[in-house]
Amino acid sequence: MGKVYVFDHPLIQHKLTYIRNKETGTKEFRELIDEVASLMAFEITRDLPLKDVEVETPVGIARSKMIAGKKLGLVPILRAGLGMVDGILKLIPAAKVGHVGLYRDPETLKPVEYYVKLPKDIEERELIVIDPMLATGGSAVEAIHALKKRGANHIKLMCLVAAPEGVEAVQKAHSDVDIYLAAMDDKLNDKGYIIPGLGDAGDRLFGTK
Ligand code: PRP
Ligand code: URA
């Protein structure tokens, strides 16, 4: 069973409060999502393996550390996942970025795939699937499935806010995938919105309705 981590860092929790606020406009919403994505990237990379290296400083040789192991790849779920990419790339600038395009049919709430473009070497990369919202879990389950079908074998899922139903769906479908969140909310409403959530993440990020 995949583990669930909720990042309780005060800065993440403080900024999330502004993100949730319905009075927060598009510009500020976008900036805050970007900032929280950076902070979450800091936390999610805590367990990256290190190797010992030597580096020549202006006055001597230092025994130091560098990141070892698999290279990273980011896979935002379009559209709303895009809002978190730049924030993560600020900390991991060499990561490659793939895209999975899914939208949730408003009637059935089932995800519909419309675009997949991934780095060629995904089977050699540790992938972080990114989406601010994990509601029914349908989109994340389908996105992870799309990656595995193409050879990915080391996947983490990073979302801002989740409903218990979504976490359960991902754990059931992909028991090898750990989930990283800023908040675990109460439930879904009958339209599949996370309660209390933050509303429609894509619409608030891009100013659509
Ligand atoms: C939202 C959100 C997730 C999905 C979550 O996207 O960004 O991708 O819903 O819901 P689920 O867990 O029930 O699948 P949406 O389909 O609204 O598309 P958008 O990002 O283009 O707005
Ligand atoms: N997608 C969103 O953007 N918000 C929700 O609450 C659920 C799905």
List, as one string, the DSSP characters of 165-196: HHHHHHHHH-TT-EEEEEEE-SEE-TTS-EES
CATH code of the domain in which 35 resides: 3.40.50.2020
Element (H, E) at 24: none
pLDDT at residue 41, rounded to an integer: 97
Interface confidence: ipTM more than 0.85:
yes
- Assessment of whether the complete model's pTM goes beyond 0.90: yes
Number of domains in the chain: 1
Catalytic residue among 17, 26, 86, 108: 108
Place of tokens 């924030």: 87
Q: Which residue range(s) make up the domain with 201?
A: 4-206
CA angle 11, 155, 2 (to 5 degrees): 80
> What is the whole-number distance in angstroms between the Cα of residue 136 and the centre of ligand 2?
9
196 upstream amide cis, omega within 30 of 0: yes
pLDDT tens, residue by residue, 57-106: 999 999 999 999 889 999 999 999 999 999 999 999 999 999 999 987 88
CB-based contact 137:167 (threshold 8 Å): yes
Q: Which residues line ligand 2 (CB under 6 A)?
A: 80, 133, 135, 192-194, 197, 200-202
Q: Which ligand is nearest to the CA of 134?
A: 1
pLDDT at residue 155, rounded to an integer: 97
Q: How far apart are CA 156 and CA 209, in angstroms?
A: 30
Q: Which ligand is nearest to the CA of 169?
A: 1
pLDDT at residue 70, rounded to an integer: 82
Strands 71-78 and 60-67: unpaired
Q: Mean pLDDT throughout 30-51?
A: 96
pLDDT at residue 170, rounded to an integer: 98
Higher-scoring residue by pLDDT: 109, 9:
9
